[in-house]
Amino acid sequence: MTREISDIIMRKLAKHYGDVAPDLKYLDIYQLSVAVVLSAQTTDVQVNRVTPELFSRYPDFAALSAAKIRDVEKIVRSTGFYRNKAKNIVNLARRVTTDHGGKLPATRGKLMSLPGIGRKSANVILSVGFGIPALAVDTHIIRIAGRLGYTGSANPLTVEKAMVSFIPESMLTYAHLALIKHGRALCRARKPLCASCPVTGECCFDGKFS
To the query of whether residue 138 is one of the catalytic residues in this protein, the response is: yes
Burial of 18 (0-12, 13-18, 19+ CB in 10 A): exposed
Q: Which of 12, 87, 138, 161 is flagged as catalytic?
A: 138
To the query of whether residue 161 is one of the catalytic residues in this protein, the response is: no
Separation CA 30–CA 103 (nearest Å): 8
R_g of the chain, CA atoms, integer Å: 18
Q: Which of 120, 181, 191, 208 is flagged as catalytic?
A: 120
Residue partners of 165: CB distance under 8 A and separation at least 6: none
Give me the active site residues, please. Answer: 120, 138
